[in-house]
Amino acid sequence: MLTNDQLSQWDRDSFLHPSTHLAQHARGEVQGRIIIGGEGCYITDRDGSRLLDAFAGLYCVNVGYGRTEIADAIAEQARELAYYHAYMGHGTEASVTLSKMVMDRAPDHMSKVYFGQGGSDANETNVKLVWYYNNIRGLPRKKKIISRWRAYHGSGLMSGSLTGLNLFHRKFDLPLDMVRHTTSPYYYRRDTREMSEPLFSAQCAADLEQLIDTEGADTIAAFIAEPMLGTGGIVPPPEGYWEAITPILEKHDILLIADEVITGFGRLGHMFASPAYGLTPDIMTIAKGLTSAYAPLSGSIVSEKVWKVLEQGTDENGPIGHGWTYSAHPIGAAAGVANLKLIDSLGLVENAATVGPYLTAQMQAALGDHAHVGDIRGEGMLTAVELIADRDSRTYFDPDRKITPQIVAAMGRRGVIARAMPQGDIIGFAPPLCLTREEADTVITATTEAVAEVL
């Protein structure tokens, strides 16, 4: 067996890690964990520490770790047929079955699903489909995409541009020219303290309409949004937000892309978040919970309205020139089929709808009055604790103090993993959907103790 020192050496010498301070890592100043096993909500590292993963990897291991049903489905698929492509109408039993299962769960007005590998490439696909759609409709100028500040839609050229967090743009020459960003529906960080939630929502809608007017509606193709903001801070939409936004999109013939990479397959206590918020998206992005990350797979679900135009386009122009080698990869599809069956049989959507709000409510009870806790919010199995230097003025801590990373490290020492969200002092929680109340209590105790240790 490799020694820990040997592994660390190889890691520093050979591995260019995603979303990591590369120089610090190369100098050995970033101590990542090497994980060797997982069971339910817990993972085990090489030192034998057992940690409650209250972020489900990256909000993705929805059914929890160690599910033999999915492992067996993957192994069986690999033995029988590890790969065949999906070009020119080909497929596998797994990919066809998964498409049927996804569409059975999607809102009624949705029509078909295109499979990719991850959320980023699914959003690249979505933008290409939107451009194709408007070209076929004879509207070649209608191409810009509006996203929101603090959105996260991925790290590709277009998906990274749609992302509204500066960290993902810095020194990469993003965002690309076809993208515009509008106001983030982040009520806690509103400018005017006295503004009510409905008024703030109306302000967000007015900002969007003004942007559309400035750019010209004839140049705007789509509005992309997470139904509830994820990586930007775990922020449920303020009251009246979606009711104010959607009529503007309809009025200006702007498609709605609902990015359900985090919210899809139960995280908010519904199979999908869009219908729960009264949204009828034209395209939906899915990934993460589709396979619970047992294998990489994503999807772009298109509505009947979009599908009809795509059909027309290929009748006029021949096969659609968009495909990945790994579209609908059979191993990902087999994982997806087994995963969706488990979500149903274990009642995980219902569990997210009960244990998730319990976690948020208990967190509020434990930390709501703390002098440095500004906001505790959440929906389903997504919770955030926002820390502030001063409660009244809502001033941030000096970023150099690294308050949230320190708290998250202190939680790790207590056996619980949470995430220091990338912008602002926000501790994020997105546990597997199988979290029990007892496990939620463990998360709350570790958080409370860690906050007390650091602040």
Please report, as ranges, the residues that interact with ligand PLP according to CB under 6 A.
58, 118-120, 123, 152-154, 226, 230-231, 259, 261-262, 287
**Least distance to ligand PLP from the beta carbon of 57, Å?**
10
**Least distance to ligand PLP from the beta carbon of 258, Å?**
10
**Least distance to ligand PLP from the beta carbon of 382, Å?**
11
**Least distance to ligand PLP from the beta carbon of 155, Å?**
6
Q: Is the alpha carbon torsion for 346, 352, 354, 359 positive or negative?
A: positive
The DSSP code sequence of 292-317 is: TTSS--EEEEEEHHHHHHHHHHHHHH
HSE of 414, CA atoms in CB hemisphere, 13 A = 21
Residue nearest to ligand PLP (CB): 119
**Least distance to ligand PLP from the beta carbon of 58, Å?**
6
The nearer residue to ligand PLP, 230 or 330, going by C-beta atoms, is 230
The nearer residue to ligand PLP, 262 or 349, going by C-beta atoms, is 262
The nearer residue to ligand PLP, 42 or 168, going by C-beta atoms, is 168
Strand order of the β-sheet with 419-420 is 373-379, 382-387, 426-429, 419-420
CA 256 to chain centre: 17
**Least distance to ligand PLP from the beta carbon of 102, Å?**
16
The nearer residue to ligand PLP, 160 or 374, going by C-beta atoms, is 160
Q: What is the 3-state composition of the chain as percent helix, strand, coil, each rounded to the nearest 5?
A: 45, 15, 40
Task: Supply the DSSP symbol for 77.
Answer: H
CA–CA separation, 92 and 84 (whole Å): 7
CA distances for 311 relative to 5, 141, 306, 314, angstroms: 57, 21, 9, 5
The nearer residue to ligand PLP, 264 or 374, going by C-beta atoms, is 264
The nearer residue to ligand PLP, 226 or 386, going by C-beta atoms, is 226
CA–CA separation, 334 and 342 (whole Å): 13
**Least distance to ligand PLP from the beta carbon of 409, Å?**
22
Give the residue among 306, 309, 288 at the shortest CA–CA distance from 297.
288
Residues in the chain: 455
The nearer residue to ligand PLP, 179 or 262, going by C-beta atoms, is 262
